[in-house]
Amino acid sequence: MCAKPIHANRQHCSTHKRVLSRSEYYTLTVAEFKARNAHQHPSYYRGHLNTLTRLLNAHRPRVCQACGYSKHIEYCHMQPLSAFEATTTIEEISGPANIFLLCPNCHWEYDHGLLRVDPAGFQPAV
């Protein structure tokens, strides 16, 4: 942009680098988020999305919603990421409306159809 020399692993000089605030990241669509990180390794997208998911759900109690375990909690998407359109915002994908807090065991059971959710809460799949 300005012809200043920059380090090989940078895209912009310190003057022209635009860092988004958290709230700006939340309003990005999936397509915009991927485009902003296109120069990164493919695994970066998932890791960055996990960080945003933790930040969007930081206010929630860190207790498994299925069994009450509180030593280690994982964020489980109710709808898988692949089910969303490219125009969906990060907040819709990773906000509290689409996230369960589950322990690793319950998360695995939910992902493999052994645990289901109904109005009464989590139930074993029959």
**Residue 16 located in a structural domain:** no
Q: How far is CA 40 from CA 22, 49, 100, 114, in A?
A: 19, 13, 28, 36
Q: In degrees rounded to 5, what are phi and psi of residue 82? A: -70, -15
Q: Does residue 6 lie in a domain region?
A: no
Count of domains observed in the chain: 1
The region of weakest confidence among 14-23, 64-73, 75-84, 104-113 is 14-23
Q: Does any domain span residue 1?
A: no
The answer as to whether 11 is a domain residue is: no
The pLDDT tens digits of the residues spanning 70-102 come to 999 999 999 988 899 999 999 999 999 999 999
**Burial, 17: exposed, middle or buried (Cβ in 10 Å; 0-12, 13-18, 19+)?**
exposed
Residue 38 has pLDDT above 90, yes or no: no
70: domain range? 22-124
Please state the rounded mean pLDDT for residues 15-41: 78
Q: What is the mean pLDDT of the chain?
A: 85
**pTM for the full predicted model:** 0.75
Instruction: Read off φ and ψ for residue 81, nearest 5 degrees.
Output: -55, -35
In this structure, what token pair is assigned to residue 36?
A: 């902003």
Say if 113 falls within a structural domain.
yes
